[in-house]
Amino acid sequence: MRRISHTDIVGYRRSLAMSPSLSRGETERLLNDLEALLSERDRALGALERLAPAFTEVRHALNELHRSINT
């Protein structure tokens, strides 16, 4: 299953054709909530990407300390 993107939301917003059973207001609220979730996901992914290099160094330091203590 492909993840929805910000570009997809723009397209949905333009057509508001997601479902004929939803009113325009319900569809807009759904799109706003989805857009907020995507932004939150992007922030979380950015934080994880920044953490990865730092965590690698921390892991190396902890391994070195572990070897020092156990020898």
Question: Which residue range(s) make up the domain with 48?
Answer: 6-69
* Rounded distance between C-alpha atoms, residue 45 and residue 50, angstroms: 9
* Rounded distance between C-alpha atoms, residue 13 and residue 28, angstroms: 7
Number of domains into which the chain is organized: 1
Residues in the chain: 71
pLDDT at 9: 82
Would 1 be classed as within a structural domain?
A: no
**Distance from chain centroid for Cα 31:** 16
Q: Which residues of the chain have pLDDT under 50?
A: none
pLDDT at 29: 87
pLDDT at 1: 54
Q: Torsion angle, CA of 18/7/34/32, rounded to 10 degrees?
A: -80
pLDDT at 64: 92
